[in-house]
Structure 1
Amino acid sequence: MSFEASGPQYEPVMIDGYYQSKSGINYTNLFFYEKKFFSQNYVETKRTWMQENWQMSFVYALVYILAIFAGQAYMKNREKFDLRKALVAWNFVLALFSIFGTIRIWPEFLQTISNKGITHSVCSSDYTHGVTGCWSWLFILSKVPELVDTVFIVLRKQQLIFLHWYHHATVLIYCWFSSKDFTGSGRWFVLMNYTVHGVMYSYYGFRALRFNIPKWVNIAITSGQLSQMVFGIYVNIIAYNELSQNRPCDVSYENIFWSFIMYFSYFVLFFHFFYKTYIAPKPKSSRTKTQLNGNGTIANGKAHHDETAKDK
């Protein structure tokens, strides 16, 4: 199998009033910001900016981690904040953003898989323009404001576990690192993250509203998160196989290395959380209160345990 791994080199195409993406998807209704990503020059400016600034992600991650522990020290002898209304609003804003991003990029993903195959979907960066390119860029930028998730944990004086802040910091760095090269496998990573986050943050929002959600929903979401890690590893294996066979693939060995480490570590941490929360026997005299973001009982680097009677 072969394809033209031309990266971001394309020209915007108008056919009978339709905007046509490089993958062949026709769009009649575009938001103004989406239209910008049909311009080669505009997309190139984004790539250039990321190449020049991606290392700032290390600064953001470091400041984030230092702020976490400084905030915990500050709150140690202070009363916790409730922030329930703010938490509801925050979760539903992120849920709507993720759901809309999912809706906008699924058509291109499905058509690419159907017409060009899985290998092309992993190894070609032709998704970096048009509607999918727009929402991929917004996804990359969203990793910074998503750090606010941890603010709620600190100010509400909830237990902060390693999985939460490790997930936030490493996702931010990896996304910016990959974006500078327009990595082909990003098509999969962005889609999976949007899809899982759409469900996850909706769950958080309803939990913050004190809806009584069945336990099977928690298990299903955490299982979906584990599946995301498995697919992430699988995508890296495909990219590695293509490169090792000297076939064109818009993914570097360096990216595969760091991506594999990231997804494998997530799988181990999430599986441990899953086992401890849903499988391992619990002492009758105590109740597990593992919290990741003050909303429920699922693990994704941002979730937590069921609200206690005191919280209610």
Structure 2
Amino acid sequence: MESLMNLYHEVMKRADPRLQGYPLMDTPLLMTSILLAYVYFVLSLGPRLMANRKPFQLRGFMVIYNFSLVALSLYIVYEVRLEGWAEPWGLSTYTWRCDPVDFSQNPEALRMVRVAWLFLFSKFIELMDTVIFILRKKDGQVTFLHVFHHSVLPWSWWWGIRVAPGGMGSFHAMVNSSVHVVMYLYYGLSALGPAAQPYLWWKKHMTAIQLIQFVLVSLHISQYYFLPSCDYQYPVIIHLIWMYGTIFFVLFSNFWYQSYTKGKRLPRAAQQNGVPKVKAN
């Protein structure tokens, strides 16, 4: 415990002071408590509360929720591209290669801090994905992959953003938010009911888009290992992003194989007006 506390204090000494005062960012205790409560609810409390109750429909809420996340994801993509990754339009301050974090008080750097926090905050909003599963008694959709993604990744992202909001590590935020625009658009349309079903033929392609996401993130971050020199300040973040990109590529490839190659797909009734079996970025 003493070693862990020493490590914690060492990390917090390096915390970016510009994030002080942002919701959830002053201490890891609040965000850790939220994630632990989330895991407890979706794996224990929620199913027990719903055991003798009829499933909630929640169609109206799901429509509003999913389309709100489409709008939020679009805004995050716009902000990240404008502040760092819009080189073709002459607006970029990034090189797409080794980009260290700008810890200055420049307006551009502060804007990246804000959008990095917003990206993290969106992950806590997305915990509602699993709560919806539980309330609708879609317990079969609460897979290991789903819970792992929604709990472990926000926890690790908190540390990365608290220490290094920006730089080459922000590329995955832009790609991930772009994928979420497509993903939550699908879920929002699906929640509209049978009338929208003929327009949802592209469900299979969402998994392909997710796989492409992991390839792009891993390839981009892998540059670090081959560049002659790189001044990115926190290499451990590079290692984590590469590791997560690789792990999720393997997990989603297995989902693709099980769902579309072997034909083990959910019954159509289980897919209607809801979210597919795996809902992750």
SS in 1 for 2:95: helix
TM-score, normalising length: structure 1: 0.70
Q: Work out the CA distance in 2 between the residues paired with 1:85 and 1:218.
A: 21
What aligned pairs does 1:254-273 form with structure 2 within 5 A after superposition?
254-273=236-255
Counterpart residue number, 2:143: 161
Deviations along 1:172-228, one digit per CA (max 9) or x if unpaired, are: 112101112215233201101211111111111000002114565112221111111
Compared CA separation, residues 114 and 51, structure 1 to 2 (3 A): closer
Please report how far the alpha carbon of residue 44 of structure 1 lies from its aligned counterpart in structure 2 after TM superposition. 3.5
Aligned AA for 1:136? Answer: A
Please report how far the alpha carbon of residue 141 of structure 1 lies from its aligned counterpart in structure 2 after TM superposition. 1.7
| Structure 2 stretches lacking a partner, 5+ long | 1-15
Compared CA separation, residues 213 and 225, structure 1 to 2 (3 A): farther
1:232 aligns with 2:214: no
Counterpart residue number, 1:46: 19
Compared CA separation, residues 76 and 162, structure 1 to 2 (3 A): same
Compared CA separation, residues 198 and 237, structure 1 to 2 (3 A): same
Between the two proteins, the alignment pairs up a number of residues equal to 252
SS in 1 for 2:234: coil
SS in 1 for 2:203: helix
Cα RMSD over matched residues? Answer: 3.0
Q: Work out the CA distance in 2 between the residues paired with 1:189 and 1:90.
A: 23
1:101 aligns with 2:76: yes
Q: Work out the CA distance in 1 between the residues paired with 2:233 and 2:91.
A: 16
Q: Work out the CA distance in 1 between the residues paired with 2:199 and 2:181.
A: 18
User: Which of residues 57, 68, 79 is equivalent to 2:42?
Assistant: 68
Deviations along 1:77-104, one digit per CA (max 9) or x if unpaired, are: 2211111111111111111111122223
User: Which of residues 206, 216, 230 is equivalent to 1:221?
Assistant: 206
Contact 1:99 1:194 (8 Å CA) reproduced: yes
1:144 aligns with 2:124: yes
Q: Work out the CA distance in 1 between the residues paired with 2:151 and 2:157.
A: 10
Aligned AA for 1:44? Answer: P
Compared CA separation, residues 162 and 222, structure 1 to 2 (3 A): same
Aligned AA for 1:240? Answer: Y
Q: Percent identity?
A: 26
1:58 aligns with 2:37: no
Compared CA separation, residues 287 and 48, structure 1 to 2 (3 A): closer
User: Which of residues 234, 257, 278 is equivalent to 1:275?
Assistant: 257
Contact 2:32 2:155 (8 Å CA) reproduced: yes
Deviations along 1:38-72, one digit per CA (max 9) or x if unpaired, are: xxxxx833158677523544332222111112101
Aligned AA for 2:274? Answer: N
TM-score, normalising length: structure 2: 0.77
Aligned AA for 1:201? Answer: Y
Q: Work out the CA distance in 2 between the residues paired with 1:295 and 1:153.
A: 8
User: Which of residues 115, 126, 131 is equivalent to 2:102?
Assistant: 126
More displaced 10-residue stretch of structure 1: 52-61 or 189-198: 52-61
Contact 2:67 2:184 (8 Å CA) reproduced: yes
Q: Work out the CA distance in 1 between the residues paired with 2:260 and 2:269.
A: 13
Q: Work out the CA distance in 2 between the residues paired with 1:47 and 1:225.
A: 33
Q: Work out the CA distance in 1 between the residues paired with 2:119 and 2:162.
A: 14
Q: Which has the larger radius of gyration?
A: 1
SS in 2 for 1:224: helix
More helix by percentage: 2
Q: Work out the CA distance in 2 between the residues paired with 1:282 and 1:139.
A: 33
